[in-house]
């Protein structure tokens, strides 16, 4: 069918662009000028990056600011490639046994209001993030628990001293929320000023915002990277409904949406517009889980929980669901493209990952019968968001039906969903997810230990063995050994005890107007959004 041929061609073009090393993307000379219209699915509560944790703030405001270091925009798919943004040269190696990081601050960097950046501004920024004064909110304070002090021996140098060596420090530093503010602004206007006001060193200046409608940025002529940005400006348009977001790109009211579209919408856009649409795709550092509530008697028996995971056809689901939902990759506890992640050979040894579906489901039925729970009935709590929660939830119910379980679904909007998950704990099994910006496996897998703040399965204090394995992992310095420990951890958490069930990893799909160039998909919708390299081929 021509529809699919066109789609394949567009996908090939997109992949070429995403790989970036060679091909047409590199050969083209960027054109200057133009306004980029893009869609954002929600409205940010404020513009203060240190306070918020939503992409709805990152997409419209990240271009106003710079970071100390950032993910390499030429190679955003790599989980380990960071470059200097406000520092000179390359990202420094630590000294003093891995506890001291010294950065040289880039010279001649200007804020939008004309102030010149010095190391003092970075110190003030990181002090706000890491050691916020009483009553000042900092969402990612806990990312920096290893930091002992931040100082500036002179105006061109900033030094981070750590309490202990940590591989998690550099990824934390590259987190896109660490907007650099000026020390003068913080001192004169207070710590809340950046919630509603903008003064950064980014490629674009704040122009206008209308609540609920849009945010506009305009080119900053004194941007610290010479020759950039290419765009004259951009406009971030808010649109709450998926159908409208897709139609906006189809009708060219916007050129791109940076979070991600479902596969069906990608196919529809390509079918309607052919090579006017370019598709970029990537694995996504978000994983959709289901969480059995260990506080409920029916979920206390590990055999029941193992039956839950054994009933799920992940390899088949990967094929079917990836046609209708933003999930695709079968994986364990680690982001599938990271070197620490389990290979397929390692995965199939886990319950519910085997390739013989029939055998798995027989085993599930047997375990249920042994536990005296054949024909188990329960309710699945889900979050009232179509993609991917409700679609995957409905799919899971169908999977469990195959082993004789009767499952109903209770969907709650975000606000009460978290209330049920955290406070009332009023659920049998719930959908759950883990979604981070910079990939950091050792930090990310803490989700699966019972004592973690974002673990909602209620087995705190019930599995010391798992806690011990994790403690060993954090203390281990050697990467190969870390990988081995993670395998043991994974088998216990997902298979032997089946504390949590992983469904599938998310899959990011960004179909956009082909005239948008210079933007490369990253494994997270938080990353690579400074827009300074983006240009329009019109």
Range 100-159, binding another protein (CB under 8 A): 135, 137-142
Q: Closest approach of Cβ 460 to another protein, in Å?
A: 14
d(CA 447, CA 451): 9
- By beta-carbon proximity to another protein, the closer residue of 133 and 227 is 133
User: Which range binds another protein by CB under 8 A, 61-69, 89-97, 362-370, 450-458?
Assistant: 450-458
Regarding 344 and contact with another protein (CB under 8 A), the answer is no
Regarding 2 and contact with another protein (CB under 8 A), the answer is no
d(CA 486, CA 333): 8
Regarding 451 and contact with another protein (CB under 8 A), the answer is no
State the binding string over 364-393 for another protein (x if CB under 8 A, else -).
------------------x-x-xx--xx-x
482, containing H or E segment? helix 479-490
> Do residues 69 and 91 touch, judged by C-beta distance below 8 A?
yes
**DSSP3 helix / strand / coil % (the chain, rounded to 5):** 35, 20, 45
> Do residues 69 and 174 touch, judged by C-beta distance below 8 A?
yes
Q: Can you tell me which of 97, 212, 297, 461 binds another protein, judged by CB under 8 A?
A: 212
Q: Which two tokens stand for residue 494?
A: 């997902």
- By beta-carbon proximity to another protein, the closer residue of 89 and 316 is 316
Q: Closest approach of Cβ 414 to another protein, in Å?
A: 5
Q: Which two tokens stand for residue 107?
A: 């010279």
State the binding string over 285-324 for another protein (x if CB under 8 A, else -).
-x-----------------------------x--xx--xx
- By beta-carbon proximity to another protein, the closer residue of 267 and 490 is 267
Regarding 434 and contact with another protein (CB under 8 A), the answer is yes
**Helix pair 314-321, 391-401: axis angle to 10 deg:** 140
Q: Can you tell me which of 453, 477, 478, 480 binds another protein, judged by CB under 8 A?
A: 453
- By beta-carbon proximity to another protein, the closer residue of 199 and 239 is 239
Please work out the total of residues on this chain that contact another protein, with binding judged by CB under 8 A. 89
d(CA 518, CA 505): 26
> Do residues 387 and 325 touch, judged by C-beta distance below 8 A?
yes
Q: Closest approach of Cβ 303 to another protein, in Å?
A: 26
Q: Can you tell me which of 95, 355, 414, 464 binds another protein, judged by CB under 8 A?
A: 414
> Do residues 337 and 283 touch, judged by C-beta distance below 8 A?
yes
Q: Closest approach of Cβ 318 to another protein, in Å?
A: 11
How many degrees, rounded to 5, is the angle at CA 450 between CA 447 and CA 451? 90
> Do residues 86 and 68 touch, judged by C-beta distance below 8 A?
yes
What residues pair up with 126 in beta bridges, in sequence order? none
Q: Closest approach of Cβ 135 to another protein, in Å?
A: 7
d(CA 131, CA 135): 11
User: Which range binds another protein by CB under 8 A, 68-76, 117-125, 300-308, 449-457?
Assistant: 449-457
Q: Can you tell me which of 241, 461, 477, 478 binds another protein, judged by CB under 8 A?
A: 241
Q: Closest approach of Cβ 54 to another protein, in Å?
A: 5
d(CA 481, CA 385): 39
- By beta-carbon proximity to another protein, the closer residue of 254 and 341 is 254
- By beta-carbon proximity to another protein, the closer residue of 286 and 304 is 286
Biggest CA-to-CA distance, the chain: 72
Best CA proximity match to 492, nearest among 367, 331, 332: 332
Q: Which two tokens stand for residue 239?
A: 């649109």
Q: Which of residues 188-207 bind another protein (CB under 8 A)?
A: 195-196
Regarding 355 and contact with another protein (CB under 8 A), the answer is no
Q: Closest approach of Cβ 269 to another protein, in Å?
A: 9
């Amino acid at each position: 069918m021509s529809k699919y041929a066109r789609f394949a061609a567009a996908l090939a073009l997109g992949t070429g662009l995403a790989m970036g090393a060679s091909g047409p993307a590199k050969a083209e000379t960027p054109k200057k000028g133009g306004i980029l219209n893009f869609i954002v699915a929600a409205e940010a509560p404020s513009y203060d990056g240190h306070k918020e944790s939503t992409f709805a703030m990152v997409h419209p405001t990240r271009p106003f600011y710079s970071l100390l270091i950032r993910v390499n925009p030429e190679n955003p798919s790599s989980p380990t490639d960071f470059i200097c943004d406000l520092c000179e040269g390359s990202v420094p190696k630590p000294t003093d046994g891995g506890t001291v990081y010294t950065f040289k601050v880039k010279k001649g960097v200007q804020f939008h209001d004309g102030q010149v950046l010095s190391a003092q501004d970075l110190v003030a920024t990181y002090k706000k993030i890491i050691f916020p004064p009483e009553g000042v909110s900092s969402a990612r304070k806990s990312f920096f628990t290893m930091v002992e002090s931040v100082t500036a021996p002179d105006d061109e140098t900033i030094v981070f001293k750590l309490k202990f060596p940590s591989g998690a420090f550099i990824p934390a530093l590259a987190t896109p929320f660490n907007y650099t503010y000026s020390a003068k602004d913080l001192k004169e206007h207070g710590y809340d000023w950046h919630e509603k006001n903008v003064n950064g060193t980014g490629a674009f200046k704040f122009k206008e915002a209308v609540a609920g409608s849009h945010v506009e940025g305009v080119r900053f002529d004194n941007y610290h990277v010479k020759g950039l940005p290419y765009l004259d400006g951009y406009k971030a348009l808010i649109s709450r409904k998926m159908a409208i977001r897709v139609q906006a790109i189809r009708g060219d009211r916007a050129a791109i949406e940076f979070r991600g579209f479902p596969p069906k919408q990608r196919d529809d856009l390509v079918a309607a517009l052919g090579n006017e649409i370019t598709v970029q795709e990537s694995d996504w550092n978000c994983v959709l889980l289901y969480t059995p509530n260990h506080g409920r008697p029916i979920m206390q028996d590990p055999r029941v929980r193992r039956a839950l995971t054994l009933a799920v056809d992940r390899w088949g689901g990967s094929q079917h669901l990836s046609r209708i939902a933003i999930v695709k990759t079968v994986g364990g506890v680690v982001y599938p493209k990271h070197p620490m992640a389990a290979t397929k050979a390692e995965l199939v040894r886990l319950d519910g990952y085997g390739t013989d579906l029939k055998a798995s489901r027989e085993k599930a039925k047997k375990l249920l019968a042994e536990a005296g729970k054949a024909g188990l009935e329960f309710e699945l709590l889900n979050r009232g968001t179509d993609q991917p929660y409700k679609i995957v939830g409905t799919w899971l119910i169908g999977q469990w039906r195959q082993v004789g379980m009767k499952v109903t679904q209770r969907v709650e909007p975000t606000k009460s969903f978290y209330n049920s998950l955290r406070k009332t704990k009023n659920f049998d099994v719930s959908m759950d997810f883990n979604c981070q910006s910079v990939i950091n496996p050792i930090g990310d897998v803490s989700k699966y230990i019972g004592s973690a703040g974002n673990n909602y399965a209620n087995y705190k204090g019930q599995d010391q063995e798992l806690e011990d394995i994790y403690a060993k992992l954090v203390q281990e310095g050697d990467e190969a050994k870390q990988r081995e420990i993670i395998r043991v951890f994974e088998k216990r958490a997902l298979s032997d005890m089946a504390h949590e069930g992983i469904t599938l990893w998310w899959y990011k799909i960004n179909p956009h107007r082909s005239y948008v160039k210079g933007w490369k998909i990253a494994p997270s919708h938080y990353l690579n959004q400074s827009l300074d390299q983006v240009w329009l081929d019109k």
